[in-house]
Structure 1
Amino acid sequence: MKPSTLPTRDRIVSAAAKLFYSEGIRAVSVDAVAEKAGVTKRTLYYHFASKDDLIAAYLDGRDQPNLVLFKRWFSETEGDVADKVRGVFYALAKSARHPRWRGCGFLRTSGELANMPGHPAMKIAAAHKKRVEDWLGSVFETAVLEPQARLLARQTILLLDGSFAVVLLHRDPSYMETAGEAAHSLIRNSVAVGPQLPLA
Structure 2
Amino acid sequence: MKTASPPPARDRILDAANSLFYAEGIRAVSVDAIAAKAGLTKKTLYYHFRSKDELVADYLASRDQPNLLLFEEWFTNAEGGLPRKVEAIFTQLAIAARHPKWRGCGFLRTAGELANLPGHPAMKVGAAHKKKFEAWIAGEFRNEGLHEPDALARHIVLLMDGAFSTMLVHRDPAYAESAGQAAKALVELALAAASRSRS
Amino acid at match of 1:38: G
TM-score for the superposition, normalised by structure 2: 0.94
The 1:196/1:16 distance shift into structure 2, 3 A limit, reads farther
Distance 1:156 1:43 in 2: 42
Amino acid at match of 1:152: L
Distance 1:145 1:94 in 2: 29
Match of 2:89 in 1: 88
The 1:144/1:112 distance shift into structure 2, 3 A limit, reads same
Q: Contact (CA 8 Å) 1:145, 1:196: kept in 2 or not?
A: no
Amino acid at match of 2:83: A
TM-score for the superposition, normalised by structure 1: 0.94
Match of 2:78 in 1: 77
Identity %: 58
Match of 1:157 in 2: 157
The 1:82/1:52 distance shift into structure 2, 3 A limit, reads same
Shift, 1:65, TM fit: 0.3
1:92-116 per-position Cα deviation (integer Å, ceiling 9, x unaligned): 0000000010000000000000000
Shift, 1:142, TM fit: 2.1
Q: Contact (CA 8 Å) 1:89, 1:176: kept in 2 or not?
A: yes
1:148-176 per-position Cα deviation (integer Å, ceiling 9, x unaligned): 10000000000000000000110000000
Amino acid at match of 1:45: Y
Runs of 4+, deviation exceeding 4 Å: none
The 1:71/1:192 distance shift into structure 2, 3 A limit, reads same
**Equivalent runs, 1:10-159 vs 2, <5 Å:** 10-145=11-146, 148-159=148-159
Distance 2:16 2:155 in 1: 35
Shift, 1:5, TM fit: 1.8
For 1:168, what is the secondary structure of its paired residue? helix
1:54-80 per-position Cα deviation (integer Å, ceiling 9, x unaligned): 000100000000000000000110111
Shift, 1:24, TM fit: 0.1
**How large is the Cα RMSD of the aligned pairs?**
1.5
Unaligned runs of 5+ in 1: none
Unaligned runs of 5+ in 2: none
Amino acid at match of 2:15: S
Amino acid at match of 2:39: G
Q: Contact (CA 8 Å) 1:144, 1:195: kept in 2 or not?
A: no
